[in-house]
């Protein structure tokens, strides 16, 4: 690792699982606030999910949203398209523009779930084999996803893998040569079922927090099976989380992901080289994200602090990690030769 005046120089991080809530959920997050939160968290490139209101499922939806994202975002933002049974025929055309397709196999926030083996198989055949098909799959759906990868000789990426058996199935599939990749979230690496109890609705997301034995299994695969770490930044307002009969699942993560992994690196749970592979190199490779010239971040690996309660850039304004002791502070973010963040302040961002 390059060290300069006590600061570690790392590539800009790439977060390939982010919810920016445009259109329809701008009170939770928008391109500007979400991309500012990304930069504050050392992330210079992100991919946003299509489970918006309405969802992004046609070429027209995707082009409109991508244009708006390009105009309003402070970092690089690439948008997923969403798989929906209503627009199966349009998938080949959509695939000429959208970098990846997201397929929801299980129930979560939003209305983009696809049901039935026939539909799943059609989508796995219609979306180009070499392009990423990213799955929200839990439990048996992971097995189904692996079957699709095998049967159609195609690439499949598993989002937010959280259970011991799931990571072991994926390890076995990789050993058989299937073209599969997977990501885990910081909340599934650092929080378990007892944290879920303590946090109440603020610790509720899909997949739900798991047993300590699941966390241990994920950590056991951190240098092998796990290809990348992504935040699954899923902002909902405090009011929505705390004052509702049926709080929406999801937690924010853009500003906590890198600090948590830097902490794990400081503790020797993974190397700084592995951190860079998981958060910068591999996610860019999986999704074919463009290189960002003259882009880097500077981190003080020794600085210890408590993850803040307030003064976050995400519009939702809270974090399940508030109060966590962390080690490793982002001192500077440079994007295409310009200072984007200095000592926690995002340049160009007016609240
Ligand atoms: C996500 C959201 O709020 O959009 N929620 C979540 O609990 N993870 C949806 C998702 O990623 O499944
Ligand atoms: Zn999901
Ligand atoms: Zn998500
Ligand atoms: Zn310390």
What pLDDT score was predicted for residue 3? 80
Instruction: Give the CATH number, domain containing residue 251.
Output: 3.20.20.140
Q: What residue ranges of the chain have pLDDT lower than 50?
A: none
Question: In Å, what is the CA distance from 78 to each residue of 164, 288, 294, 309?
Answer: 31, 11, 19, 29
| Alpha-carbon span 191 to 132, nearest angstrom | 28
- What is the total count of domains within the chain? 1
| Alpha-carbon span 319 to 312, nearest angstrom | 9
pTM: 0.97
Does some domain include residue 333?
yes
Q: Which domain holds residue 224?
A: 2-346
Q: How far is the CA of 188 from the centre of ligand 1 (A)?
A: 13
Contact status, residue 321 vs residue 260, Cβ threshold 8 Å:
yes
Q: Tokens 């056991």 sit at which residue?
A: 220
Does some domain include residue 235?
yes
Q: How far is the CA of 254 from the centre of ligand 1 (A)?
A: 14
Number of helices followed by number of strands (H, E) in the chain: 13, 15
Q: Which ligand is nearest to the CA of 48?
A: 3
| Alpha-carbon span 156 to 131, nearest angstrom | 9
Q: Which atom of ligand 1 is nearest to the CA of 19?
A: 4
Does some domain include residue 194?
yes
Contact status, residue 238 vs residue 315, Cβ threshold 8 Å:
no
| Alpha-carbon span 89 to 94, nearest angstrom | 10
Does some domain include residue 225?
yes
What pLDDT score was predicted for residue 351? 52
Q: How far is the CA of 298 from the centre of ligand 2 (A)?
A: 31
Q: How far is the CA of 188 from the centre of ligand 2 (A)?
A: 13
The first and second tokens of residue 75, run together, are: 């970092």
Does some domain include residue 186?
yes
Which protein residue has the closest C-alpha to ligand 1 atom 6? 250
Does some domain include residue 207?
yes
What pLDDT score was predicted for residue 349? 66
What pLDDT score was predicted for residue 350? 58
Q: Which atom of ligand 1 is nearest to the CA of 108?
A: 12
Q: How far is the CA of 266 from the centre of ligand 1 (A)?
A: 29
| Alpha-carbon span 179 to 225, nearest angstrom | 12
Q: Which atom of ligand 1 is nearest to the CA of 51?
A: 4
Q: How far is the CA of 248 from the centre of ligand 1 (A)?
A: 8
**Residue 1 CB contacts under 8 Å (≥ 6 apart), including other chains:** 8, 9, 10, 272, 273
Q: How far is the CA of 304 from the centre of ligand 1 (A)?
A: 30
Of 136, 123, 67, nearest in space to 95 by CA:
123
Long-range contacts formed by 141-150: CB under 8 A, 24+ apart: 141/105, 141/106, 142/166, 142/169, 142/170, 143/169, 144/105, 144/117, 144/120, 145/105, 145/180, 146/170, 146/173, 146/178, 146/180, 148/120, 148/121, 148/124, 149/173, 149/178, 149/179, 149/180, 150/176, 150/178
For a mutational test of ligand 1's pocket, the pick from 82, 206, 320, i.e. the residue with the most ligand atoms closer than 8 A to its C-beta, is: 206
Q: Which atom of ligand 1 is nearest to the CA of 17?
A: 11
Of 108, 120, 207, nearest in space to 161 by CA:
207
What pLDDT score was predicted for residue 309? 81
Which protein residue has the closest C-alpha to ligand 1 atom 9? 109
The first and second tokens of residue 303, run together, are: 């600085």
Q: Tokens 């966590």 sit at which residue?
A: 324
**Residue 108 CB contacts under 8 Å (≥ 6 apart), including other chains:** 51, 136, 206, 249
Of 48, 82, 43, nearest in space to 66 by CA:
48
Does some domain include residue 30?
yes
Does some domain include residue 351?
no
Ligand 1 binding site (Cβ under 6 Å of any ligand atom): 19, 51, 108-110, 136, 205-206, 232, 234, 248-250
Alpha helices, H only, the chain? 31-40, 59-72, 91-94, 117-126, 140-151, 164-175, 186-190, 193-199, 212-220, 238-242, 257-266, 272-276, 282-287
Q: Which ligand is nearest to the CA of 326?
A: 4
Q: Is the peptide bond before 23 cis (omega within 30 degrees of 0)?
A: yes
């Amino acid at each position: 690792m390059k060290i300069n005046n006590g600061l570690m120089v790392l590539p800009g991080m790439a977060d390939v699982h982010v919810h920016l809530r445009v259109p329809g959920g701008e009170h939770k997050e928008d391109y500007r606030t979400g991309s500012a939160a990304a930069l504050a968290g050392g992330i210079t490139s992100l991919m946003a999910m299509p489970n918006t209101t309405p969802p992004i499922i046609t070429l027209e939806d995707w082009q409109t949203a991508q244009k708006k994202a390009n105009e309003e975002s402070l970092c690089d933002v690439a948008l997923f398209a969403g798989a929906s049974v209503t627009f199966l025929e349009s998938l080949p055309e959509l695939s000429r523009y959208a970098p990846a397709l997201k397929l929801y196999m299980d129930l979560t926030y939003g209305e983009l779930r696809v049901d039935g083996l026939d539909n799943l198989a059609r989508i796995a055949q219609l979306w180009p084999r070499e392009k990423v098909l990213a799955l929200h799959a839990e439990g048996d759906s992971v097995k189904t996803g692996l079957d699709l990868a095998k049967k159609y000789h195609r690439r499949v990426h598993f989002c937010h893998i959280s259970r011991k058996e799931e990571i072991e199935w994926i390890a076995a599939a990789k050993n058989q040569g299937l073209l599969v990749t997977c990501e885990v979230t910081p909340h599934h690496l650092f929080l378990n079922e007892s944290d879920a109890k303590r946090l109440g609705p603020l610790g509720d997301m899909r997949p739900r927090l798991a047993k300590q034995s699941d966390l241990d299994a994920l950590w056991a695969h951190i240098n092998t099976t796990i290809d990348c770490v992504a935040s699954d930044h899923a902002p909902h307002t405090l009011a929505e989380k705390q004052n509702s009969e049926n709080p929406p699942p999801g937690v924010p993560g853009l500003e906590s992901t890198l600090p948590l992994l830097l902490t794990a690196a400081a503790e020797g749970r993974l190397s700084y080289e592995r951190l860079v592979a998981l958060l910068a190199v591999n996610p860019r490779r999986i999704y074919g994200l463009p290189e960002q010239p003259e882009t880097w971040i500077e981190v003080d690996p020794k600085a210890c602090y408590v993850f803040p309660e307030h003064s976050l850039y995400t519009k939702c304004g809270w974090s399940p990690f508030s109060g966590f002791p962390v080690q490793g502070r982002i001192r500077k973010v440079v994007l295409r030769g310009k200072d984007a963040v200095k000592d926690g302040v995002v340049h160009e961002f007016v609240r």
